[in-house]
Amino acid sequence: MSLKNEQIQEIVTQFGKDKNDTGSSQVQVALLTARIRSLTDHVKINKKDNHSRRGLVLLVSQRKKLLKYMRRVNPDSYLNVTNELSIRRN
């Protein structure tokens, strides 16, 4: 359910400005998306795991808030990230 260090580094290098850019909104959204997809697969298999389901809902709402911020502050990066990650736009 959690991401491996190699996966995290790959996402950071793909979406960040450099290899140490872990705090930018684009990287945070990409990391949350990877965690959401991993947790979604887990919840599909383990249908009665309500604790993980709640964690999934919290991750989705956190990503939604970050995307709302990105859309307000930097619309170009918002469009780029949503297209690359195949996230629906509101």
* pLDDT tens digits, 55-82: 999 999 999 999 999 999 999 999 999 9
Q: Is the dihedral of CA 14, 16, 19, 23 positive or negative?
A: negative
> What is the number of residues in the chain?
90
pLDDT for the residue 2: 79
- Judge whether 9 and 34 are in contact, CB under 8 Å: no
Joined together, the tokens standing for residue 52 give: 């993980």
Q: What is the pTM of this model?
A: 0.93
Alpha carbon dihedral 57, 63, 68, 74, in 10-degree steps, equals -170
10-43 confidence digits (pLDDT tens): 999 999 999 899 899 999 999 999 999 999 999 9
52 vs 81: CA distance, rounded Å: 26
Q: What is the pLDDT of residue 3?
A: 86
In the CATH scheme, what architecture does the domain 5-85 have? Orthogonal Bundle (1.10)
